[in-house]
Amino acid sequence: MGISIKTLLEHEFFKDFHIVAGSKGIQKEVQGIAVMDAPDAYRWTKGKELVITSGYSILMEPDCIKKSFDEGLMQITSGMIIKRGRHLPTISKEIIELFEQYEIPLISMPFEIGYMEVMQQVNTIVMNRTIRRFQIHQNGAMMLGSTTYKVQKIKKILQAVEVEMGFPAFLYDVGEQEGYCSSANFKRISETYGLQESDYWNPKMEHNRYTLCDYIQMTRIRMFNEDNVDGPRISWILMPISIGGNLQAYFIVMESREFLDYYDEYSIRIAYLLLQSVYEQIVIAQSIGNIGFENLVLLALHSTGEDEERLLYQAGQQGISMNTRYICVLFHQMNEELSARNSREQYITVFKNSQLSKNAKLAFLDENTGIVLTELSDSVSYSQKDMEGMISDFEQKIVETFPKMELEFAVLREGKKMSELKSSVETCGKVMKMGKKLCPKKKIWDYEMIGPFAWLQIPEKELEQMLSEYLDMMKDEKNVELLRTLKVYLENNMNFSVTAEKMYVHINTIRKRIDKLDRMLQIDWDSYISRLKIEILLQFLEL
């Protein structure tokens, strides 16, 4: 929305500008300044211009004003300003009557004021008024990084856009996967044209794209229907909001009445800058908060009984209860030539945009190792499948951002308090080590999958020796059958008869196989732990 002639003339600069005719039209909207330097200049009128002239064109062709009214072109302007005393000593009665008849303001301006001064003043007045209207006062009670602060500010800016411009506005937050509208008008228009949220930045229907500003990627998208070329068309302005090269949101303004006009672009750019500022504040706050959380994690991992008060204080500063239970996900970046922590900001952004970030926080422990703590509650729980799905989503997004990075994960879904974090991380470390030995093709290992080995605390060398011995045996198909027999035999409490029934062979065959295995592996049948190690290990072999 531009500015009315009445509002302009109320400013000090325009005190010596006088309305000669058409005073009933002083509420007309001005969207720009045009100079009439030729008798037929009105032919290039777009609409809503405040036309300035020295009067020379009228002097040279007195009927040019009448022609412009006859052709309906002067009527779409906002008004005309004529410089007093330059070429027209007086304004003819006929011209005054025409402006009066069509209620188009005709204004006389002082001789000594330059055109550039008028243009500058109009632009300044419009800009200042727009900035005042878009001022969103911060609520001191809100935390800088809180969702409430962000959502409230976004909604206020969007509402200001619709009030100022008359166009409904919409913002889609990529990280939150949430959309915000200036009013119900946006949803109503979307439903009318069958548009989904994603259509506004990735239209599925036939459309044209027009770049309005390369620097901020400001684009007009206009739909069209080849089957109904004369039917109604809809268009909108799309502006992606990015911080540090990372996409945060899509800002959309619907051109529901007509295309954006000159001063409308002032408003939309100011709104864009305000929204970008909101996201910059949030990203900075999250970064500060993340560093604070990381310090809390490191303190918890290295704390002693003497650090309890300090730990409680740091947790309070982060708004974290020491009684909250967390799922612990340990991740490790395997490419030693790269440092994940050196790309902390991008990592945090990718994490925030992933499914894994729900009710979760990320902290780095060293250059390529970190943890994700997911909050648990009585109403929220996660299965092994749930966690693997969320972790896979995070891993995929990391690889898309950093193609040379390779991640592996260990998960402890048993909820532990912050004071037990050291134990949780150590357990995840064991799960990861054993997972790589037992299930080398996987990248995500759950404690319930590897847990018994972690619980038994089998030394790494012993586990490697056992695995190597069994894998060497499996190179011979006959030995594979022997190991299958051993697996069934142990599962059935070393009962020859039951094992024979389940394997559909004679009991003596089972006895011979077990005797052969005993000679090959030298199994300590009297040791429960020894038998348990073998039984668990056999579960991971592809028998």
Task: Say which CATH architecture domain 135-282 belongs to.
Answer: 2-Layer Sandwich (3.30)
Looking at residue 464, what is its pLDDT?
65
Task: Say which CATH architecture domain 460-540 belongs to.
Answer: Orthogonal Bundle (1.10)
Q: Which amino acid is at 287?
A: S
Query: Alpha-carbon dihedral of residues 454, 456, 460, 463, nearest 10 degrees?
Result: -110
pLDDT band at 140 (very low <50, low <70, confident <90, very high): very low
Looking at residue 451, what is its pLDDT?
56
Residue 223, SS3 per DSSP? strand
Count CB atoms within 10 A of the CB of residue 190. 21
pLDDT band at 333 (very low <50, low <70, confident <90, very high): very high
For residue 281, CA distances in Å to 275, 276, 285, 362 come to: 10, 9, 6, 19
**Mean per-residue pLDDT over the chain, rounded:** 84
3-132 placed in CATH 3.30.710.10: no
- The structural domains of the chain, with segments of one domain joined by +, span 3-132, 135-282, 321-456, 460-540
Write a three-state SS string for 261-292: CHHHHHHHHHHHHHHHHHHHHHHHHHHHHHHH
**Is pLDDT of 218 > 80?**
yes
Taking only the tens place, the pLDDT of each residue in 258-310 is: 677 777 787 888 889 999 988 888 777 666 667 778 888 888 888 776 667 77
Residue 184, SS3 per DSSP? helix
**Is pLDDT of 15 > 60?**
yes
pLDDT band at 406 (very low <50, low <70, confident <90, very high): very high
pLDDT band at 145 (very low <50, low <70, confident <90, very high): very low
Report the alpha-carbon distance of residue 138 to residue 409 in Å, rounded.
41
Q: Which fold has domain 321-456?
A: Alpha-Beta Plaits (3.30.70)
The mean pLDDT value for 427-442 works out to 84
